[in-house]
Every structure is written in C-alpha cells, then in structure tokens.
Structure 1
Amino acid sequence: MSETPFSEDALRDIAEKKVSYRRSVKIHWSVYLLVNAMIFVINLFTMNFDLWLGLPDTSTALLIQLWAIYPILGWFIGAAVHTTVYLLYANGVYPMAKRAVILHFVAYLTVMLLLVVINAITYPAFFWVLFPLIFWGIGVIIHYIVYRVYFRGEISKKTGEAKSRKEQAIEKEMEKMRKKMQK
C-alpha cells in the first residue's frame, strides 16, 4: 500500500474543488454557446442586406456587418483562460511560475486570434496586427526563458536536493541573514 501525503479529508476537499471547478467551466461554456448563438441570430436579423448589392465585393459587406464576431471572440478569451486555469489545477501543475507561463501563452494566442480578425475586418490593406504579434510574442518568449532559467530545478551541491535558482538564492540570503544576526 502506497502512502499519500494527504489525509482523507484533504483528498475529499481537493476532489470537491475539482468537481466544483469542472462544473463551473461546463456552465461557462454552455452560457457562452447559448448567448453567442443568440447574439449571432440578432446580428443576422439586423444586417442590412441591401448594402451588399451596392458593394463590388459582397464578402467585405458581410464582414463589416458581422459585429457578433467581436463579443464571440472577446468572450472566447475569458472562456479559454477559465478552462486553462481549471486544467492546470486539475492536473496539479505547479509551481505557480509554470502556470503563469502557460496562462500567458493561452492569453497571447486567444487575443491574437481576436486581433487578426479585427485587422481583417477593419483595415485589411495594412497588416498592423504584426506589431502586437511580434512584440507580445517576444514578451512570451522572454517569459518562458526566464521561467526555464530562474525556476529550473538544479541539484544543490550542499544538500543534494533539487532546488530552483530562486530557492537557492533564498537559501543563500537566509544564510547571510543568520550570519549577521549572530554577530
């Protein structure tokens, strides 16, 4: 029989939270789909189909009038982040720094999707979305590199335990403080 570091009560609390969080994600997606379907139907009923006849490119007229895409994609960002938070919790992803990198990447992808669509609808002649795509992308890469360098576990020479550079720096600082207090 393997020993677990959690008591039965602690395991029950964790299981209860997972069930509750899973239910909240399912509710979030259900409401998202229902409300956005209604928004899309309202959008279709309020479109000016006569406008299509006057434009040489009818796809442009459709995109201009398809305002429902903005709340659909905007809310998608929140739903995707909510789902990611649940999956990280349910799968026991730690440390928090790792969660932060993953959430940063998910936010980047979903916001970029919205920005690409906005660029395509509002001003397709100039691909301005490249600026946030590149510069925020650099930020995501830097965040990942900092995580890998700073929070990567290494074997401590003194104790033989795996500790991140942050933990090693904390231990070193605590040692300095102990020495100062002894003087």
Structure 2
Amino acid sequence: MSEKDSEKTAKNGEFSEESLREIAVEIVKRRLALKIHWTAYLIVNIGLFIINITVDDSYMWVWWPITGWGIAVLTHSFNYVSYRRGLFNSARTTLLWYHIFFAILISAFLHFIDNFTGSTTSHWWYWPVIPILLSAIVNIITYYVFKPKKNEDTRKSYIDRKVDREMKKLGI
C-alpha cells in the first residue's frame, strides 16, 4: 500500500470516504464499459446471424465470431464481477482465479470446436484439455501450500515467511 493509499484509510483500517468514492467511481466506469461491450456483442452478433441465415445457411459460420467474441465478453464480465465483489486481495489470488477461469473457458471452447467441426469418430479435444485442467489443479494446490497463514505478512514471499518462522524458533 502506498503512502497515498495509507493516508486515505482511517487508523482503524476502514476506508475513508474519499477512497470509497474512488472505488465507487471505478465500479461505475467498469459497469458502463461492460454494458457497452455486451450491447455491441449482442447487436453485432444478431446482425451477423441474420446475414448468415439470409445469405447462405448451409454453413453456420456465425458461431465462430459468437464464440470468439464471447470469450472476450465473458472475460470482461468475470473481471468486472471479481472487482465488484472484491474477490482478489492479492496478485497471487488474482492469477489463480484467472488461471481457473481461462482453463474452464478454453476447455469449453475446444469442446465446441470439436463438436462444431463435425468430428464424430475422434474427440481430439481431450488431449489439450487434460494438461490444461491438470495445470489448473497444480496451480490450486501450490496456491494453498504457499499461501500465507492468517497472521503472516502477505507481501512477503514464501521463503521470507519460512525464514521468519525459523528465526522465531531460534529465538532471534
């Protein structure tokens, strides 16, 4: 926390009115940007869908921009909701949740591609999804192994926290 941030918080750890106002302004801006993004997504994709079915409905190419842009708009939504709810209190937590979010999203997208391209005999999407999901599981495990305990400084690295504990044992 910078000096400017610490000046904005009261001594009892609560946020000052000024800092709460800044957070509220940021939430309003993010909500407006998200509404604009969703509106553009819906209008453009409805238009593309109409073009696709009126010009040539033998191949539904419209699903590619819908899913590709859908990944972006879902990511934007996840970012807004996580900020709004205050889910992330550290960079480590943020990275963990984004890793999980993208692992699920990419896995679903690969499954969609496999089904949309008409692969009925070989479901190739399993092969990239298995390591993606395994890496997310490993990330979750390492997060909880290296996560600071309740009374430890969250700004210190895992090694620094271990050294501090060892020094306490030594009486230093």
The two structures share one fold, judged by TM-score above 0.5: yes
Mapped to 2, the partners of 1:171 and 1:118 lie a distance apart of 45
* Alpha-carbon contact 1:76-1:110 (below 8 Å) kept: no
Between Structure 1 and Structure 2, whose CA radius of gyration is higher? Answer: 1
Deviation at 1:165, TM superposition (A): 10
Question: Alpha-carbon deviation of 1:86?
Answer: 1.1
State the partner residue of 1:103.
98
- Shift, 1:67, TM fit: 1.0
Give the letter for the 2:100 counterpart. F
The runs of 5 or more residues in structure 1 that have no matched partner are 50-64, 156-160, 175-183
Deviations 1:135-181 (A, max 9, x none): 11111111111111112x325xxxxx23459545235669xxxxxxx
AA in 1 matched with 2:135: G
Q: Is the 8 A contact 2:114 2:123 kept in 1?
A: yes
The 8 Å contact of residues 34 and 77 in structure 2, kept in 1 or not, is answered as yes
Identify the residue that residue 147 of structure 1 maps to in structure 2. Answer: 143
Match of 2:68 among 60, 69, 74: 74
Calculate the aligned-residue CA RMSD, in Å: 2.4
What letter is aligned with 1:147? Y
Relative to structure 1, is the Cα distance of residues 5 and 167 closer, same or farther in structure 2, using a 3 angstrom cutoff? farther
Match of 1:87 in 2: 81
Unaligned regions of 5+ residues in structure 2, if any? 1-11, 165-172
**Secondary structure in structure 1 of the residue aligned to 2:149:** strand
Structure 2 distance, partners of 1:110, 1:23, is 24
Query: Residue 121 of structure 1: CA displacement?
Result: 2.5
Shift of 1:102: 1.5
Report the TM-score when normalising by structure 2: 0.77
Kept in 2, the 8 Å contact 1:70–1:114? The answer is no
Aligned partner of 1:58 in structure 2 is none
**TM-score, normalising length from structure 1?**
0.73
